Structure 1
């Protein structure tokens, strides 16, 4: 545990935040459907993980022996929720701005802790309740501002909120399974089940699998490499060196990074209400994370 890391952990954390900030941008640049984008993002992620899983095959086999039958079912359920999180979030980006969508998806800690209260009987402090209320008020401000932009923007906001709920279930299942199972093996299984779910979804909808626009292949791979492997995988690594509470709050920087990238790459602007609502929401989640333990 005291081994000096090859990369300064806080520098790696900044790299991870920058990497995940690119996710919404790559999705916006894709011409394919949300389901197909999500399917290939996870497929390429799984394929990139395979060499590492083979290299650690003895540890993986040992880890799999600790998985119960219930754990495998939970991995499947987790993968399904992750799949539909991607579908609904990517779909939301077709209707609302990057800033609104990413900020509203940032509400996932509220859903996660609500589930923790119900399932794991966690307690919340008064400051945490205040933070949660502030975050919800911020989301209302964003939604009210987007309502003036038309029904489509508000529909996109609702999809983003539902996406936040879906990914919260994914995190809650992971919180349970990873108390007694290897994180890498769990992640690989969940990504595998999620990939399968997404391809079934695309096939049921009758969408062609092998004929996306040529440039989309580059965006699919970019989604796997940057926000997934260089983003979320880096967060899993830095938790060894940086407190999880610091990491969870720092990830909120994705909303700011995504808005900046959307401004320069997509030409999107941020309205005053989006700015005010976003600040309130992020401040609320900061307080919620900071004081969530009663």
Structure 2
């Protein structure tokens, strides 16, 4: 059994690392774009859905495992994901990468609360302590960049609301993803989000066409690079719960801030670097909690909580 636990730990380590690196590029792509946040979100979801069609076609037999109630939850999961992207992309247009992504550090707290309310999930004191270390470190990263202007404050609030939305998306998926493959689940959620966003853009009179080649390139990059993280996280929901995914995504503020310094010339001070190290340490020690014998029961035991985004 111990060897099986070690193998399980190793098997999720690499996917989590790839997920963090991939999702860190999302803020950079949004910053490079001049398109409305709702358009960026819509085409990201449409392109991602289209790219997944060949795989979903091979797994189409799994659709029979989805009952009417599941379709209802899949739609709302997609709705929450659509809200997350629109709110967060708009946040990035109003404030810095560091300020916007750092608020994602609150996601484990919101996820923990949601998991307790919906699934009666429990956690441990040691898990809470390691989560606190990571959150403190994440706050240090963006503290110097938190804006005092009206636009920056609005951007910070939008980022927080995007956290609530993505936690709803993850908590819903935590149960449904067990009935079908993560590919099929991801496709259904992305497709639902794309439809919701299309309806919104049409209703709001936002132009769906007429964007330059640069923007279409960014739409495609958003659909491929960061979306890889969401697909991986959906797959990982088979083995860990939503709070675990949320905790691992604390690596995004670190990666995104570093990329912003290199690609966007955003400034980073010494204590922000120290904060980034604290985030990584917090994530490491928190995930170490998941390596205890109980973690192999996560797929069937909803009460184990020691946590992605």
Q: How big is each residue's C-alpha offset from its partner over 1:151-198, in whole Å with a ceiling of 9 and x where there is no partner?
A: 322222221111111100000000021233333222211111100011
Query: Within 5 A, what are the aligned runs for 1:107-126?
Result: 107-126=106-125
**Residue aligning to 1:49:** 52
Does residue 1:264 correspond to 2:290, yes or no?
A: no
**Residue aligning to 1:178:** 177
Larger relative contact order (CA 8 Å, sep ≥ 6): 1
Instruction: Specify which of 22, 31, 40 is matched with residue 37 of structure 1.
Output: 40
**SS of residue matched to 1:170:** helix
CA contact under 8 A between 1:100 and 1:274: conserved in structure 2?
Answer: no
**Residue aligning to 1:17:** 20
CA contact under 8 A between 1:134 and 1:280: conserved in structure 2?
Answer: yes
Query: Within 5 A, what are the aligned runs for 1:1-294?
Result: 13-54=16-57, 56=58, 59-61=59-61, 63-133=62-132, 145-146=144-145, 149-229=148-228, 231-234=229-232, 250-271=248-269, 291=289, 292-293=305-306
Number of equivalent positions: 283
Distance 1:220 1:162 in 2: 23
Distance 1:31 1:104 in 2: 23
Q: TM-score scaled by structure 1?
A: 0.81
Q: Report how far residue 10 of structure 1 moved.
A: 5.4
Residues 218 and 156 (structure 1), Cα distance of their counterparts in 2 relative to 1, 3 Å cut: same
Q: Root-mean-square deviation (CA), in Å?
A: 3.4
Distance 1:216 1:104 in 2: 26
Which stretches in structure 1 are left out of the alignment for 5+ residues?
Answer: none
Distance 2:186 2:44 in 1: 15
Distance 2:23 2:166 in 1: 15
Q: Report how far residue 20 of structure 1 moved.
A: 1.6
Residues 68 and 290 (structure 1), Cα distance of their counterparts in 2 relative to 1, 3 Å cut: same
CA contact under 8 A between 2:96 and 2:145: conserved in structure 1?
Answer: no
Q: TM-score scaled by structure 2?
A: 0.78
Distance 1:260 1:278 in 2: 10
Distance 2:285 2:190 in 1: 31
Q: How big is each residue's C-alpha offset from its partner over 1:135-159, in whole Å with a ceiling of 9 and x where there is no partner?
A: 6666776786555642322222221
Q: Report how far residue 79 of structure 1 moved.
A: 0.6
